[in-house]
Amino acid sequence: MGFLSDPINFIAGWLESIMLGFGWSETIVTTVLKFLGAGAVGTFGFALVIFTIWLERKLYARIQDRLGPNRVGPWGIFQTFPDMIKIFTKEYITPDGADKVIYNLAPIISVSAVLLIWAVIPFAPTVIGTDVNVGVLYVVAVGAMGTLSIIMAGFSSNNKYAMLGAFRAVAQMVSYEVPMVLALLVPVLLGRTMGINSLVASQEVWYIVVAPIAAFIFFTSSMAETGRAPFDLLEAESELVAGYQTEYSGLKFGMFYVGEFLHAFTISALTATLFLGGWRGPGSETFPILGIVYFFIKTFLMYFVVAWIRISLPRLRIDQMLNFNWKFLTPLALVLLIATALLEKVLGMVLPGLNLVETAVPWVRAAAHLVVNLLLLWGVFSALRGYQVKGRKIVGNPRPVAVAPEPPASVIS
């Protein structure tokens, strides 16, 4: 393939031929190319944060009828660079009594946990860091490191507000990982694989059409795990003085900031990959550069939704947020997972006997799953409506309160 059709692998092949020409062994060449690829992805991630910070500010301004960045560069596109310089030049402060090793390690792990996820995200059919056959399990395991970094930051800061923020991290982020993992099992069942690139290749019909409830649960739980509004109770400034970030300043605070923005874009990329077909599109298998274009169009579409929700919704109370998780998302995810597994078993026995055209089988299968999802949604909304009506009746007709009879007048006298 030429440079225009597959530039990434063209450059990689060119570098490989140069290094082999110098007499390097294939093992060393492969190792060097892996390190160069990891460095390129990491650099791209940090550069992407610069753009997404500007993009979110402009979206906030447009939706909330404000100006936004409009001075430094055309349309304020260079505003992020003075902000970076300001963060780089701020004083580093380490509080007395802090556990210095854990305190300084926490922001590094916060960024590393997000960057490590990009190692298994396929940008195109041939552009992927590492195509491991347990990519979904890898994403869950590495994503948990972000929670660990917040707990480390709150525990090591020797500050009660930071510690409270860490407690909220345990209550919120660990809780929302339960429905997220259950929702991730749905595309694994549909694609019969845990490899992320294999899941993309199996989406002849996008999984957001086949299992819209799973897409909603995964997207919502992932947003809660990032700690962004309306789920930003980990660093609620009005309640916790920025929570686990209270004692951080300068670049250490900036790394948490970078980790948050990069994580928001990463969950958009994962949603686009697992439920929107990832790099799939017309001509993407023939011309991988088209796959990269399709991937980023879908990812930025989901990122717009993430920013839109953050801009539009107010912060939730901690009890409301946990009730939403344990009383709604988790039971719904469990029921959906069981229904999907049973339907897949039934379809596996029924479809071969129908003698359908091979191209029609994925659409019949998708239609069956979509019907089950719609029936499940109908049942959920019916149950919620009944619960709401019952609550209104209780409020409108409260139980009579027993009033003690007044004592006789002789007793009072």
Q: What is the pLDDT of residues 14-72, one digit of tens each?
A: 888 888 887 888 888 888 888 888 888 888 888 888 888 898 888 888 888 888 888 88
The amino acid occupying position 126 is T
Omega of the bond prior to 230 within 30 degrees of 0, cis?
Answer: yes
Decide: 264 and 274 in contact? Cβ < 8 Å.
no
The amino acid occupying position 283 is G
Check pLDDT > 70 for residue 5. no
Decide: 281 and 291 in contact? Cβ < 8 Å.
yes
- Quote the percentage of the chain above a pLDDT of 70: 91
CA distance 296 to 304: 12
Decide: 252 and 279 in contact? Cβ < 8 Å.
no
- Cα atoms in the Cβ-side hemisphere of radius 13 Å centred on 40: 12
CA distance 46 to 56: 16
Question: What are the b/e assignments for 180-213, b being 16+ CB within 10 Å?
Answer: bbbbbbbbbbbbebbbbbebbbbbebbbbbbbbb
- Paired tokens of 274: 């697992």
Beta pairing partners, 127? 124
> What mean pLDDT comes out for the span 289-311?
90
> What is the reported pLDDT for 154?
86
Q: Which of 83-92, 164-173, 402-411 is the most confident on average?
A: 83-92
At 406 the three-state DSSP class reads coil
- Paired tokens of 327: 């009383």
> What is the reported pLDDT for 383?
85
What's 191's DSSP letter? H
Check pLDDT > 80 for residue 292. yes
Decide: 152 and 200 in contact? Cβ < 8 Å.
no
The amino acid occupying position 332 is L
Check pLDDT > 70 for residue 391. no
Provide the H-helix boundaries in 284-352: 288-312, 318-324, 330-350
Give the Cα-Cα-Cα angle 318, 323, 328 (nearest 5 degrees).
140
Residues in the chain: 413
> What is the reported pLDDT for 386?
80
Distance of CA 191 to the CA centre of its chain: 20
CA distance 110 to 115: 9
Check pLDDT > 90 for residue 186. yes
Decide: 241 and 163 in contact? Cβ < 8 Å.
no
Check pLDDT > 60 for residue 413. no
